[in-house]
Amino acid sequence: MATVEAVKLKTRPLLPKFGVEILGVNLTEADRPTMAAVLDTFHKNGAILLRGQSLTPAQQVAFTREFGEPETNVREEHTVPEFPEVFVISNKIVDGKPIGNPEAGLNWHTDFQYGQRTALSTILHALEVPPVGSDTLLADLCSAWNELPEEKKRQIDGLQVHFSYQMFQDKRGVKLTQAEKDMMPDVIHPLVRTHPADGRKAIWGLAVSPVKEIVGMPEEEGLDLIRELIAYCTQEAFLYRHKWQPGDVLVWDNRCTLHTGTPFDMKNHIRHVHRTWVQGDKPF
């Protein structure tokens, strides 16, 4: 029987120590050993890119299942009809109505950080993209941890971050139902996280809008530390800038990356992207 080792994927790095582009694989036709090698590459490298793909929502959900159970979206608004797992990031208007959220993720965060089990990975599939702008930026949080001065490591290792989905939605003017509130209580996660695949560490609990405090620190002091760490982790040396082409599938590992979308000329161009999340676990 073929094994993961039996399939040698053709790859090239996105950054010297982070992320890999996988060449010559069509995700709708990949056999089991090839898919196993794709997953193995993902777990070791923090992000994978496959260009020239053409996935229907059902095929994207099937690909998502290769990584684990798809994560549900708390709110069904802006999901693909009949595919509640597929969130639409788009500025397209159909029959006078927006069919997606055009501005999802325009700030540094990792996905579903405010959930009890955070998202393991995020899969973005670009269907239409503008000629310039809308790049997705990924920061390599393991390299950021590895290169942090020892004294700073001692200062932040063990700190706990208080996330609040309800506060986050409140700031955006979104009124949650009681059922949505019950589904999303506040959670406490570590600032420095261990990757369950191989024990590598990442400076992880970073975001501003959904963070209430670092436990045990005055609120402003905690948020200042988070802002300082975001600035450190997102410096050029740790950053991959993804310039989209239609057909791209970009998958990143939320256990060791921080990401943000970037703006584009929404008046004159369309960006239409399908996003799925894979269920993760409680960070430790």
Q: Which are the contacts of 242, defined by CB distance < 8 A and separation ≥ 6?
A: 14, 49, 135, 136, 137, 138, 248, 250
Q: How far is CA 205 from the centre of its chain?
A: 13
Q: Which residue is nearest to ligand SIN (CB)?
A: 105
Smallest separation, CB 216 to ligand SIN (Å)? 29
Phi-psi region of 255 (alpha: psi -120 to 50; beta: other; left: phi over 0): alpha
Smallest separation, CB 171 to ligand SIN (Å)? 17
Stretch that binds ligand SIN, among 49-57, 71-79, 104-112, 222-230 (CB under 6 A): 104-112
Can residue 136 be called a binding residue for ligand SIN (CB under 6 A)? Answer: yes
Burial class (CB in 10 A: 0-12, 13-18, 19+), 268: exposed
- Dump the DSSP string for 71-111: PPPSS-TTEETTEEEEEEEE--EETTEE-S-TTTT-SSB-T
Our CB check for ligand SIN shows the closer of 109 and 195 to be: 109
Q: x/- contact string, 77-96, with ligand SIN (CB under 6 A)?
A: ------------x-------
User: H or E stretch including 223?
Assistant: helix 219-233
Our CB check for ligand SIN shows the closer of 195 and 259 to be: 259
Stretch that binds ligand SIN, among 18-26, 32-40, 103-111, 198-206 (CB under 6 A): 103-111
Our CB check for ligand SIN shows the closer of 70 and 222 to be: 70
Our CB check for ligand SIN shows the closer of 7 and 126 to be: 126
Helices 57-67 and 32-45 pack at an angle, to 10 degrees, of: 70
Question: From the list 78, 201, 272, 275, which residue makes contact with ligand SIN (rule: CB under 6 A)?
Answer: 275
Can residue 206 be called a binding residue for ligand SIN (CB under 6 A)? Answer: no
Smallest separation, CB 106 to ligand SIN (Å)? 8
Smallest separation, CB 2 to ligand SIN (Å)? 34
Can residue 276 be called a binding residue for ligand SIN (CB under 6 A)? Answer: no
Check: CB of residue 199 under 8 Å from CB of residue 43: no
What does DSSP say about strands 249-253 and 119-128: parallel, antiparallel, or unpaired?
A: antiparallel
Our CB check for ligand SIN shows the closer of 195 and 275 to be: 275
Question: How many CB atoms lie under 10 A from the CB of residue 101?
Answer: 17
Smallest separation, CB 105 to ligand SIN (Å)? 2
Our CB check for ligand SIN shows the closer of 15 and 36 to be: 15
Euclidean distance between CA atoms 193 and 256, whole angstroms: 8
Can residue 105 be called a binding residue for ligand SIN (CB under 6 A)? Answer: yes
Q: Which are the contacts of 82, defined by CB distance < 8 A and separation ≥ 6?
A: 57
Binding residues with ligand SIN: total (CB under 6 A) = 10
Smallest separation, CB 1 to ligand SIN (Å)? 37
Euclidean distance between CA atoms 87 and 72, whole angstroms: 9
Question: Interface residues with ligand SIN (CB under 6 A)?
Answer: 89, 104-105, 111, 122, 136, 259, 261, 273, 275
